[in-house]
Amino acid sequence: MSFPKDFLWGSATSSYQIEGAWQEDGKGPNIWDVFSHTPGKVLNGDTGDVAIDHYHRYRDDVSLMADLGLQAYRFSFSWARIIPDGTGAIEKRGLDFYDRLIDALLEKNIHPMATLYHWDLPAVLQDKGGWTHRDSASWFADYSAVVHDAFSDRVKMWATLNEPWVSAFLGHGIGIHAPGIKDPVAAFAAAHHLLLGHGKAVQAMRAQSSDSQLGIVLNLAPVYLEGDAPDDHPAHTSVALHDAILNGLWTEPLLRSHYPDLLLQLGDVVTGNIKDGDLGIISEPIDWMGINYYQDIRFVPSDVTPSADPMNPPGTDLPGTVGVEPAPAIGNVTSFGWSTTPDGLRALLVTLDGEYDNLPPIFITENGCAYDYPVEDGVVNDTLRVTYMHEHLTALLEAIKEGVDVRGYMHWSLFDNFEWAEGYRQRFGMVHVDFDTQVRTPKQSALFYARVIADNGLPSA
């Protein structure tokens, strides 16, 4: 049950979810500040104003990471903390915070693994159209160059974007995330500009240093149709579209320099954004790919009207939503209602490896689950999270044994934190956080994970 030598073990967070200090040291507002302050957008009116106050407690948090034996820490930079207006003037106090954080990590021999964008676009840029504006790609590349220039002496692993599918489709397609737009045209425009921004950022950072390991983080998953549907039922096309939007929309342009044919068949909504040369920029070679995996995506066929066309859904619905509904959750269903399907991780990795000759080395950059367990006598006995970790790490090991080049695993998340539209209700942390007192208590899963790291392997079940 051992992992390869030099396998990198760590944990992940993101700026808006943990930092707080939303108006401190010159930070500008970002789209999540705006969204969470808009009544009705986030459960219980929760915001990231304070979050888990990592901005002030980072030093203790890094000590806790060291106590657990973490070898790497995946965090993201807050764009609006560094460039409050999104473009132009740099806020030195923002850079200084990350400077202190990175030094604190290195003092404890923890590799900083940086993400440049984890969904917190400066609000000023949203006012100009955000990711639906073609210039967003250049705004992002310029910002990336500023941050990379400041820290590439000490940070070697860089991801451009975290889960661009979420930014594009939850932020612009169904609108449950910032900036809260529900419009398929905006969603596909955002998707293309995010990809273009990634490619331009890679080019800009590569020009600054050939030493940096540059990558992107995608949330990918196998997509299945379960149950019986006649051959002419739209569920088949819908599931293929869902798969193309979740997976192929990202892997195909990045690794094959083209969009999936099925998506091109949607016409102008997709093709209208693509200009000559874009795909060459998007497919700029990368050194690694991050994969965030939580669960398989499973649908069952639903009743449809005879005229229902999955390629042209009614109103502002997204392609791929006609004639299907989510299948009931399976496994140790999480507090979020998500399934646990560990073999999906193995299947995903083996499929990608078979599909792409040029698949770069993989890091699992997120994997985790939300369960709520109380602190009792200083102990949080989160048995289902331990089970989740054990099952997913077993599946990962199987994929590695089947030949997939996986170099590391970052558990999501280190701390309980702000879970976007769900506010503080969903607790993904290995470390419990009392959101009133900010007291941190490592859960049993953290202690289990510390053992896995120390042994570079799993205890037998």
Nearer to ligand IFM (CB atom), residue 290 or residue 301: 290
In this structure, the number of other CB atoms found within 10 A of the CB of residue 153 comes to: 10
Indicate which single residue of 7, 9, 14, 216 sits in contact with ligand IFM (rule: CB under 6 A). 14
Which of residues 163, 243, 296, 382 is near ligand IFM by CB under 6 A?
Answer: 163
Q: Which of residues 422-461 bind ligand IFM (CB under 6 A)?
A: 428
Distance CA 103, CA 395 (A): 34
DSSP, residue by residue, 187-244: HHHHHHHHHHHHHHHHHHHHHH-SSSEEEEEEE---EEE-S---TT-THHHHHHHHHI
What is the nearest approach in angstroms of ligand IFM to the Cβ of residue 439?
A: 21
In angstroms, give the least distance from the CB of 238 to ligand IFM.
23
CA–CA separation, 339 and 27 (whole Å):
38
366 belongs to the binding site for ligand IFM (CB under 6 A): yes
Residue 274 DSSP label: -
Per the annotation, the verdict on 355 as an active-site residue is no
Residue number with CB closer to ligand IFM (91 or 416)? 416
Contact call for residues 319 and 313 (beta carbons, < 8 A)? yes
CB of residue 277 vs ligand IFM: minimum separation in angstroms? 31
Please, which residue, 53 or 284, has the CB nearer to ligand IFM?
53
Distance CA 299, CA 153 (A): 46
Pairing of strands 362-366, 406-412: parallel
Catalytic residue from among 19, 163, 252, 419: 163
Shortest gap between Cβ of 52 and ligand IFM (angstroms)?
A: 13
Compute the least distance from the CB of residue 31 to ligand IFM, in Å: 14
- Look up 325 and say whether it is catalytic: no
Q: Which tokens is 340 given?
A: 């646990």
Catalytic option among 19, 91, 252, 366 = 366
- What letter represents residue 257's amino acid? S
- Pairing status of strand 440-442 against strand 431-433: antiparallel
What is the total count of residues that contact ligand IFM (CB under 6 A)? 8
* Interface characters, 401-420, with ligand IFM (x: CB under 6 A): -----------x------x-
Strand partners, 446: none
Near ligand IFM in 271-300, by CB under 6 A: 292
Amino acid code (one letter) for 163: E
* Binding footprint of ligand IFM on the chain (CB under 6 A): 14, 17, 163, 292, 366, 412, 419, 428
Residues involved in catalysis: 163, 366
